[in-house]
Structure 1
Amino acid sequence: MLARRSWTSPGRILRPLLLCLALVLTLPAHAREILLVSSDQGPSVQSFYQALADRRPEDQVRLESPDDLPPAATLDKETRLLLLGSNALNWRLASEQAPPALVLLVSRVDAHQLIADRQLTGISLLWSDPPPGRQLQLAMQLSPRPQRIGVLLSPASEFLAGDLAHQAAELGIELITQVQTASDDTRPLRELLDNSDLLLGLDDKQLYNPRTIKGILLSAYAENRALIGPTAAFVRAGSLASTYSDQNDWLDTLDPLLDQPPSQWPSSLYPERFKVLSNRQVARSLGIDLQDDASLTRHLGEGESP
């Protein structure tokens, strides 16, 4: 007698398979762990963390302080690190083998002091200071248009002099630089004010900080000289104008980077999206004709378009 063949309905087999397939298709294809590391846990960082999590709901986004984390080398190598500020960068630099990292809220001067000429792998620096070339272009939008632009440098920012000179030459600007080695020595600033039409401030905390900015601005305005930069925060303190990138601009920059393999990340970059903030009262007091901020932003953006 032939053995009876067992027979199962095709539907009983297909239904579980289709259910499993549906579950697989609903899972995020590229879900990642994104670890946001910051010593500052204040409202602005919390807002950035929440906005990033909202933009990338398929990823697991966490916010931690470097003080509460183990060495970076112990983390899963597939983790994407977002480092906010110098303390977070120092935590990552303490480990030679660690997940790739995107660094924010660090200026070129800050990074030069931390890194100098070290060869870094797996770290991409997204500069927090406005691009000097963009700031020079902003100065060219003023009326009257400055012909000679002065830049005050400290020993910490002196390495930027060559890059500034190159960009100024491309714009047909005469750049005048002075190095200030002592905080109480005002002679370099006076020399610049005597020989330039406008000051370009760099994000160098040795020169521009809450303690020094009032004296710099008073000296400049006494000679009817405007200050561009060094950052948007100083516009509120009395500088004429600055370019800056806000939270949405930074998120627009981060989104495509987080979707790329870290091997494709640039070693450093500035965000493409930006805005202009100006101080209209300062412009009026100095007799400077200044377009509105939206028009300045549009004109500068058109000038940077390929």
Structure 2
Amino acid sequence: MHFFNRQVVLRITALLCCIALYLPALCHAEDATAQAPLLIITDSQEQVHYRGILDSLHNRLGNDFSIRVLNAGQRAEITRHLSKQPTGCVLSIGPLSFDAISQEPPAHCRLALLISKYRFARAPARYRQQSSAIFINQPLERITRVARQTLKRARQAAIIISRDWPETLSFGSSDMDLYIKRIKPGDSVVDTFRQAGRHADFIIALPDDEVYNRSNIKSILLTTYKAKVPLIGYSEALSRAGALISVYTPPQYLGKQAAEWLISNQQQPASQAASAFAAPPRYYRVAINAKVAHSLGTALRDDAVLAQGIREDSDE
């Protein structure tokens, strides 16, 4: 009887030792497969551009993140979610979503997409210091490089911006001349663009809501068309509407860059989490509207077609 009890004790002891040996590994495996929480706030889940970003994020992050998507108008639900989930990342897509999340207490990490430098600069300073952003603005050096690769005449450029545009504009080391005109309230948009056309071989459009909005865009395109001055746009829509060239980032590639940052941030220890940054898109597409070039009589370089397509600038 005592021998039997001793055998039972030995077996139980051996079992407990095995459990103690493998328990840390099991816990580590559970942690490794745990999905990090990610709240995505978007201006729209239906519009093609927003849908493209969301699909790209789901495809690239679905295995590593527990994703929840809310619309910018669901303010109460956004607040409720963040109060229950104070850690994790929050990603906003669009200006309305950016405004909504900027009113909330700081989260572990924040990333804003489809936001312009102009809109970001107007956010509360506390939010800007704690948030990251991938701007829709393409670097001026990138735009002028594309202009030189496509236009036979590209020595003088013009930029029209609102009075409160937050950054100083320059072409850096480029020898291209730059004419800058700031529009004040009450100024005529048509007269401003007509005057700019007299000083430039082409006009660069920047994502400035005070200038390039639904009320002005038709007048701007018509004025530059009549003046035979090419417009370089910042979106696919502007290219279709009448811009000769557009330099922009397609939604799936904006989602790709955001996913790369989120995964990199997630893989780092909490004490070494990526610091806030604000940067231009890494990936971009160049689109040339050949019909507009023909209508304007604009001379393109023989190899201009080679400038089109997806590109990557990792050092900008």
TM-score normalised per structure 1: 0.83
Q: Is the Cα contact below 8 Å between 2:141 and 2:172 reproduced in 1?
A: no
Structure 1 pair 169–98 and aligned structure 2 pair: CA distance change class (3 A) = closer
Residue in 2 aligned with 1:59? Answer: 65
TM-score normalised per structure 2: 0.80
**Counterparts in 2 of 1:95-244, with a 5 A limit?**
95-115=104-124, 120-157=128-165, 159-160=166-167, 162=168, 164-165=169-170, 168-181=171-184, 182=186, 184-244=188-248
Q: Is the Cα contact below 8 Å between 1:130 and 1:231 reproduced in 2?
A: no
Q: Is the Cα contact below 8 Å between 2:40 and 2:90 reproduced in 1?
A: yes
Structure 2 residue 99 is the aligned partner of structure 1 residue 94: no
Give the drift of 1:46: 4.2
Q: Is the Cα contact below 8 Å between 2:240 and 2:289 reproduced in 1?
A: yes
- How far apart are the structure 2 equivalents of 1:21 and 1:169? 54
Q: 2:143 is matched by which residue type in structure 1?
A: Q
Which segment drifts farther, 12-21 or 187-196? 12-21
Q: 2:299 is matched by which residue type in structure 1?
A: I
Structure 2 residue 293 is the aligned partner of structure 1 residue 283: yes
- How far apart are the structure 2 equivalents of 1:79 and 1:47? 23
Unaligned runs of 5+ in 1: none
Paired residue total? 298
- How far apart are the structure 1 equivalents of 2:247 and 2:155? 20
Q: Is the Cα contact below 8 Å between 1:99 and 1:122 reproduced in 2?
A: no
- How far apart are the structure 2 equivalents of 1:271 and 1:78? 26
Structure 1 pair 229–206 and aligned structure 2 pair: CA distance change class (3 A) = same
Query: For 1:74, which of 83, 87, 103 is the aligned residue?
Result: 83
Q: Is the Cα contact below 8 Å between 2:129 and 2:276 reproduced in 1?
A: no
CA RMSD of aligned residues (A): 3.2
Give the drift of 1:19: 9.5
- Name the % identity: 18
Q: Is the Cα contact below 8 Å between 2:90 and 2:107 reproduced in 1?
A: no
- How far apart are the structure 2 equivalents of 1:134 and 1:224? 23
Task: Describe the superposition over 1:182-240 as per-residue Cα deviations: whole angstroms up to 9, x where unpaired.
Answer: 35353322221111111111111221123322222222222221000132221110001
1:171 counterpart SS class: coil
